[in-house]
Amino acid sequence: MSSSQNPHPAISRRSEGLKGQVRVPGDKSISHRALLFAGLASGESRITGLLEGEDVLRTGAAMRAMGAKIRQDGVTWTVQGVGNGCLLEPREDLDFGNAGTGSRLTMGLVGTYDMKTRFVGDASLSKRPMARVLDPLREMGAQVLEAQQGERLPITLQGPRHGTAITYRVPMPSAQVKSAVLLAGLNVAGITTVIEPVMTRDHTEKMLAGFGAAIEVETDGNGVRHIRLQGQGRLVGQTIDVPGDPSSAAFPLVAALITEGSDVVIENVLLNPTRTGLILTLQEMGGDIEFLNIRSQGGEKVADLRVRSSSLKGVEVPADRAPSMIDEYPVLAIAASLAEGETRMPGIGELRVKESDRLSAVAEGLRANGVECTEGEDYLVVKGYPGGKGLGDGTVATHLDHRIAMSFLVLGLATEKPVTVDDDGMIATSFPEFHSLMKSIGARIQGKEEEQV
Ligand SMILES: O=C(O)C1=C[C@@H](OP(=O)(O)O)[C@@H](O)[C@H](O)C1
Ligand SMILES: C=C(OP(=O)(O)O)C(=O)O
């Protein structure tokens, strides 16, 4: 297991002509939900394309601890669910490691069960705010028996005997909060309503409907979504083929755009419109991204992306696009560093409560490598250096954050001097194949200890 106690630095060097056809691992958001919903449903589910990253495996372990039978047979994961309403009290703490999604969705899932559940995580997860989930769960009847200062992990929840269905307006754009309330609603009588003023990724709504939940979504005249879920319904096991993760595809995608002479195809990428903000932004910057073989897979649009190196120009990213690319800002900042002119990214305060304070981590990493930028409370402005001249030679503090590590390893492919990250261990939480995939297209990225003098 990766941890800051045993950091593993890595270095990337200027590369040329990334070439090849690659497949990124399964979508992390869909993979968590696949294990959660399959573990809860009655009967058997079969999942292929599951992301076998640490975050998702911890969700699997939590569902096992609550009674689901989960087995891996080659590329297929088979899950025997417990049946809605029938989760068992776990005997041990549920350890979610680095995973915000796994921990927050599971808190929702168990929050209306008359049982005690203790949540723990690593140093990064233990700093992240959990009040956003605990507040609505308290309204539904959950008691918080233990929480650290500022409502942080470790947290012990005790659910009510009979929980209450609520109407909850999500105060910040967060698919995790929306999902936690809906999952809590699965185990209470009546209709739980989530009001979502700003649309976020809709995997929970879509997948719950696929598992047979009575859920409907209405968008009012102001674009506000009203999601209504009938509690205590039956969920039935499904077959799920998880498409490739656009948030992982972002790394070879930006790498190919900024590395001269590149031509890379990234296969099977999820193109759900709540996830495509980065691709749209890169296209606006002049990125040559072609959609090949557009098709539908399990109700989601997917395509292969052909990406060729491009001369990028700075843009202003509309603030209301943030939810559709929230995890992609660190790697967008890398593309911006190689673009002509400035790139402005307003409305990104949520980046401060991810695996690290990503706004600061990105700004510090850029400055350490010679890129000028301005960090505001909820915005970032990055100056571009086409050709990467004079950039690099810095070491980036990754703060237990996989996306910071991967983003800066991509930067080093196009800077004059190498870029070092202090620890690449956390990459395994979301993208265990990152190093081998990047090497296969010709990226000069390696662990510091493998470095040849
Ligand atoms: O619901 C999800 O699967 C996710 C929602 C987002 O978090 P927030 O809900 O905190 O924005 C995102 O950053 C995370 O990687 C995955
Ligand atoms: C924010 C992320 O994940 P999580 O919230 O699940 O830790 C991410 O993967 O970038």
The average pLDDT across 125-129 equals 98
Instruction: Output the six-digit token pair for 322.
Output: 């943030």
- For residue 129, being part of any structural domain is answered with yes
- Is residue 249 situated within a structural domain? yes
* Four-point Cα dihedral 36, 40, 41, 43, nearest 10: 100
User: Do 236 and 309 fall into the same domain?
Assistant: no
Ligand 1 atom closest to the CA of 32, numbered from 1: 3
pLDDT in tens, 250-306: 999 999 999 999 999 999 999 999 999 999 999 999 999 999 999 999 899 999 999
pLDDT in tens, 200-246: 999 999 999 999 999 999 999 999 999 999 999 999 999 999 999 99
* Nearest ligand 2 atom to alpha carbon 354: 1
pLDDT of residue 376: 98
What's the rounded Cα separation, in Å, for the pair 201 and 31? Answer: 14
Strand order of the sheet with strand 44-48? 69-73, 76-80, 44-48, 239-241
CB of residue 172 inside a 6 A radius of ligand 1 = no
Residue 391 has pLDDT above 90, yes or no: yes
Q: Is 73 assigned a catalytic role?
A: no
> Is 223 among the domain residues?
yes
Which atom from ligand 1 is nearest to the alpha carbon of 179?
1
Domain boundary among 222, 241, 260: 241
Nearest ligand, CA 426 = 2
Domain assignment of residue 5, yes or no = no
Q: Of the candidates 217, 241, 265, which is a domain's last residue?
A: 241
Are 195 and 265 contained in the same domain? no
Give this prediction's pTM: 0.98
Structure tokens at 350: 């949520």
> Is the domain of 72 the same as that of 174?
yes
The CA distance from 275 to 245, in Å, is: 9
- Does ligand 1 have an atom closer than 6 angstroms to the CB of 186? no
Residue that terminates a domain, selected from 225, 241, 257:
241
State the pLDDT confidence band at 450, using cuts at 50, 70 and 90.
confident
Within this chain, do residues 338 and 396 fall inside the same structural domain, yes or no? yes
CA 176 / ligand 1 centre spacing (Å):
5
Query: Does 403 belong to an annotated binding site?
Result: yes
Number of independent structural domains in the chain: 2
At residue 173 the predicted structure's pLDDT band, cuts being 50, 70 and 90, is very high
- In this prediction, residue 5 has a pLDDT band, given cuts at 50, 70 and 90, of low
Flag whether pLDDT at 364 surpasses 70.
yes
Of 2, 28, 124, 203, the residue with max ligand 2 atoms within 8 A of its CB, to mutate for a pocket test, comes to 28
Per-residue pLDDT at 76 exceeds 80: yes
Residues 18 and 166 in one domain: no
Domain that holds residue 277: 10-26+243-450
81-93 in b/e burial notation, b at 16+ Cβ within 10 A?
bbebbebeebeeb
Model pLDDT, residue 415: 98
Ligand lying closest to the C-alpha of residue 175: 1
313-324 core/surface letters (b: 16 or more CB in 10 A; e: else): bbbebeeebbbb
Res 175 pLDDT > 70: yes
Residues 287, 210 share a domain: no
Distance from the alpha carbon of residue 100 to the mean position of ligand 2, in angstroms: 6
CATH of the domain at 210: 3.65.10.10
Tokens of 325: 């690319």
Q: Yes or no: say if 138 and 112 are a contact pair by the CB < 8 Å rule.
A: no
Q: Is 138 annotated as a binding residue?
A: no
Which ligand sits closest to the CA of 103? 2
Can you give the pLDDT at residue 4? 53
**CB environment 427-447: b (16+ within 10 A), e (fewer):** bbbbbebbbebbeebbbbbbe
How many A from CA of 249 to the centre of ligand 2? 15
Collapsed DSSP state (helix, strand, coil) of residue 360: helix
In a domain, 432, yes or no: yes
Domain check: are 290 and 320 in the same one? Answer: yes
The pLDDT value given to residue 2: 41
pLDDT of residue 60: 98
pLDDT higher than threshold 90 for residue 10: yes
The end-to-end CA distance of the chain, in Å, is 29
Asked whether residue 279 falls in the same domain as residue 389, the answer is: yes
Catalytic residue among 27, 304, 327, 423: 327
CA of 315 to the centre of ligand 1 (A): 25
Task: Please tell me whether residues 164 and 299 are part of one structural domain.
Answer: no
Contact 377, 402 (CB under 8 A): no
H or E element in which residue 194 lies: strand 191-196
